[in-house]
Homo-oligomer: A and B are copies of this chain.
Amino acid sequence: MTINDVAQAAGVSVSTVSKVVNARYGVAPSTMERVLQVIAELGYETSLVASSLRSSRTNIIGILVAEFEPFALELLNGISATLRGTQYDLMAYAGNLAPGGRAGWEHRSLSRLGGTLIDGAIIVTPTVEIPHSSVPVIAIDPHAGTSGPAAIDVDNFGGAKTATEHLISLGHRRIGHIKGRSDLKSAHLRESGYRQALQDAGISYDPQLVHDGDYQRDLAAIAATDLLTLPQPPTAIFAANDLSALSAIETAKSLGLNVPNDLSVIGFDDIPEAAQSKPTLSTVRQPMHEMGATAVTLLLSMLAGEEVTQPAQMPASLIPRESTATAPQP
Listed in ascending order, the chain A residues whose CB lies under 8 Å from chain B are: 1, 43-50, 52-53, 59, 67-70, 73-74, 76-77, 79-80, 83-95, 97-99, 107-108, 111-113, 115-117, 131, 272-273, 275-276
Contact = CB atoms under 8 A, between A and B. Distances in A.
A112 B80 contact: no
Given A89-B98, A275-B276, 18 more contacts: A45-B108, A47-B111, A48-B116, A49-B49, A49-B113, A49-B117, A50-B53, A67-B80, A67-B90, A69-B80, A83-B94, A86-B97, A87-B99, A89-B94, A91-B91, A92-B94, A272-B273, A272-B275
Given A53-B53, A89-B93, A47 B112 contact: yes
15 contacts: A46-B112, A47-B115, A48-B112, A48-B117, A49-B116, A53-B53, A67-B90, A68-B77, A83-B97, A86-B99, A88-B98, A89-B93, A89-B95, A89-B97, A92-B92
A217 to B, nearest CB: 12
B112 A43 contact: no
A97 B300 CA distance: 15
B275 A45 contact: no
Q: Which 9 A-B pairs have the closest CB atoms?
A: A272-B272, A45-B111, A68-B80, A48-B112, A49-B116, A90-B94, A92-B92, A275-B276, A73-B73
A97 B84 contact: yes
Contact of A98 (B87, B94, B99): B87
Contact of A45 (B73, B80, B112, B272): B112
Nearest to A78: B68
Contact of A111 (B43, B73, B74, B88): B43
Contacts of A94: 80, 83, 89-92
B97 A131 contact: no
